[in-house]
Amino acid sequence: MSEQIPLVDYLVLGDNPHLVAQQCTNCGATYFDRRNACAGCFGTDFKQIDVAPDGTVSTFTIVAMAAPGIPVPFVSAVIDCDGIPVRGNVINVEPDPDHVSLGMKVRLATYSLGEDDHDKEAIGFGFEPSSN
């Protein structure tokens, strides 16, 4: 069995995959990368918070041209996860406006990006349509 490694540091794998963010304890701004100071208030104290796995599509675009080797079309979106905006792709859906819409309910999903010669499997995330 291969060892799974998240593609990004803020993806937590396991029985309940989820994202984590750094939240400024002064103003509540959230970031997915490490910060020395908050861009909103210049505060320097952060706490780690879990991001809700369910959300709604707040904006999206259907990408028709990408870097070589990236299959197109695909849906790039901003997902509102309980007030935290998350950039990600909408996956497991036809990439057209008949199947993706503003306000669409989605849920975090993980998938394999491939395995290296040392049995390490890279795991990425996206959001798939949800019935919730």
Q: Is the pLDDT of residue 21 over 70?
A: yes
Measured distance CA(72)–CA(95) in Å, rounded: 9
- For the stretch 96-131, pLDDT in tens is 999 999 999 999 999 998 898 888 999 999 999 997
| The total number of structural domains that make up the chain | 1
CB-side exposure of 20: number of CA atoms within 13 Å? 15
Measured distance CA(122)–CA(114) in Å, rounded: 6
| 60 confidence band (pLDDT: 50, 70, 90) | very high
What mean pLDDT comes out for the span 74-79? 97
* Predicted structure pTM score: 0.89
Range of the domain at 51: 3-129
Instruction: Please give, one letter per residue, the 3-state secondary structure of the chain.
Output: CCEEEECCCCEECCCCCEEEEEEECCCCCEECCCCCCCCCCCCCCEEEEEECCEEEEEEEEEECCCCCCCCCCEEEEEEEECCEEEEEEECCCCCCCCCCCCCCEEEEEEEEEEECCCCEEEEEEEEEECCC
Q: Is the pLDDT of residue 2 over 90?
A: no
